Amino acid sequence: MVGCFCGELSNHVTLIIRKSAIHSFGCYTTKRIRKGTLVVEYVGAPLSYEEADDLYDDFENTYLFGLDGGKRIIDGYGVAAFINHCCKPNCETDQIAGKMWIIALRDIEPGEELTYDYCLYDGDDDAPCYCGAKRCRGSLYSAAHLRKLKKKREKAAAAPAASLASVESAKAS
């Protein structure tokens, strides 16, 4: 889905989709957004975790958003699905009355790209971040998931070494 479309919202925030320096296409505001504004709802088709897993197992790029700790998934098709990740974002997400909202963390100036922290918590593949923030985590995964992945990889790296050592000791005896 390429092009430029505008979403005029109830609170008069005007968002456009255009090429992003962070990744592919991004979502930009043409008007000033005040801190705390509910900018746009993350709309999409509701899926269960299993449905989403079956549908997108082989896909590199998806627009899935996990609710209720990942039990419910939104398969995004709205403007919000274009919002890129940033480690120092200008928006956050929050679930209000069953809907997922993108909310301004600070005042956002016209022309700025909207971003929020994806904090991905599912997956083993690398999910590199190119946000360019000073304290970029280097990944779209949450800090907690990165710690989990690191442990998992250390375990995997230690396992073959251990079996090799046992082969060596078997040879020696």
Using rule CB under 5 A, residue 73 touches Zn ion: no
Separation CA 110–CA 114 (nearest Å): 10
Q: Considering the rule CB under 5 A, would residue 129 count as an interface residue with Zn ion?
A: yes
Q: Which is nearer to Zn ion, 52 or 87 (CB)?
A: 87
What CA–CA distances, in Å, run from 32 to 71, 75, 117, 153? 35, 28, 21, 44
Residue 140 binds Zn ion (CB under 5 A):
no
Which uninterrupted H or E stretch holds 13? none
List, in order, residues 6 or more apart from 47 with CB less than 8 Å away. Answer: 55, 64, 72, 73, 74, 75
Q: Tokens 């320096």 appear where?
A: 21
CB of 84 to Zn ion, least distance (A): 10
Binding characters for Zn ion, 87-116, by CB under 5 A (x = yes): x-----------------------------
Of 136, 145, 146, 149, the one binding Zn ion by CB under 5 A: 136
- Binding stretches for Zn ion (CB under 5 A): 87, 129, 131, 136
